[in-house]
Amino acid sequence: MGKKLRGADIVWESLVEEGVEVVFGYPGGAILPAYDALNNYREKIHHVLVRHEQGATHMADGYARASGKVGCAMATSGPGATNMVTGLATAMLDSSPIVCITGQVPSGAIGGDAFQEVDVTGVTIPVTKHNYLVTDVNEIASTIREAFYVARTGRPGPVLVDITKDALNAVIEDFEYPTYTISLPGYKPPAPVTNEQVVAALELINKAKKPVILAGHGVLISGAMNEVLELSRKGNIPVTTTLLGIGGVPASHPLNMGMMGMHGEACANHAIQEADLLIACGMRFDDRVTGNVSTYSPNSKKIHIEIDPTEINKNIKVDIALNTDLMVALRQINPGVTFNDRSEWLHRIRDWQEDANQRDILQMKTPTLMAAQAIRAIWEGTAGNALVVSDVGQHQMLECQYYQHESPYTLLTSGGLGTMGFSVPAAIGASFHKQDREIWVIVGDGCVQMTIMEFATAVQENANIKICIINNGYLGMVRQWQQLFYDARYAETPISSPDYVKLADAYGMPGYRVSKLEDAIPTMRKAQEHKGPVVIEFVVEQHDMVYPMVPAGADLHAMIRRPHRQFAEMEM
- Give the residues lining the site for other proteins (CB under 8 A): 121-122, 125-126, 129-130, 133, 150, 184-187, 308-310, 312-314, 317
Q: How far is the CB of 187 from other proteins (least distance, A)?
A: 5
Q: Which is nearer to other proteins, 129 or 557 (CB)?
A: 129
Q: How far is the CB of 143 from other proteins (least distance, A)?
A: 12
Q: Which is nearer to other proteins, 89 or 371 (CB)?
A: 89
Catalytic residue of the set 53, 146, 274, 438? 53
Q: How far is the CB of 304 from other proteins (least distance, A)?
A: 13
116: annotated active-site residue = yes
Q: What is the DSSP letter of 346?
A: H
Q: Which is nearer to other proteins, 132 or 507 (CB)?
A: 132
Catalytic residue of the set 18, 54, 148, 165? 165
> Residue 445: which region, alpha, beta or left (left: phi > 0; alpha: psi -120 to 50)?
alpha
Q: Provide CB contacts within 8 A for 453, sequence distance 6+.
A: 51, 52, 55
Q: Which is nearer to other proteins, 310 or 358 (CB)?
A: 310
Q: How far is the CB of 110 from other proteins (least distance, A)?
A: 11
- DSSP helix, strand, coil percent of the chain (3-state; round to 5): 40, 15, 40
570: annotated active-site residue = no
CA 214 to chain centre: 17
Q: How far apart are CA 466 and CA 464, in angstroms?
A: 7
CA 430 to chain centre: 12
Q: How far is the CB of 121 from other proteins (least distance, A)?
A: 7
559-565: long-range contacts at Cβ-Cβ below 8 A with a sequence spacing of 24 or more? 559/266, 559/269, 560/484, 561/266, 561/359, 562/359, 562/360, 562/361, 563/359, 564/358, 564/359, 565/364
**Cis (ω within 30 of 0) for the bond into 548?**
yes
Q: Which is nearer to other proteins, 44 or 317 (CB)?
A: 317
The one-letter amino acid code at 104 reads Q
Q: How far is the CB of 280 from other proteins (least distance, A)?
A: 16
Q: Which is nearer to other proteins, 146 or 274 (CB)?
A: 146
Q: How far apart are CA 394 and CA 370, in angstroms?
A: 12
Catalytic residue of the set 327, 477, 549, 559? 477
Q: Provide CB contacts within 8 A for 234, sequence distance 6+.
A: 334, 337, 338, 339
Nearest 5°: phi and psi at 9? -70, -35
Catalytic residue of the set 116, 353, 449, 460? 116
What residues form DSSP beta bridges with 100?
Answer: 73, 160
453: annotated active-site residue = no
Helices (H) and strands (E) in the chain, counts: 24, 20
Q: How far apart are CA 388 and CA 378, in angstroms?
A: 10
**Which residues carry out catalysis?**
53, 115-116, 165, 477
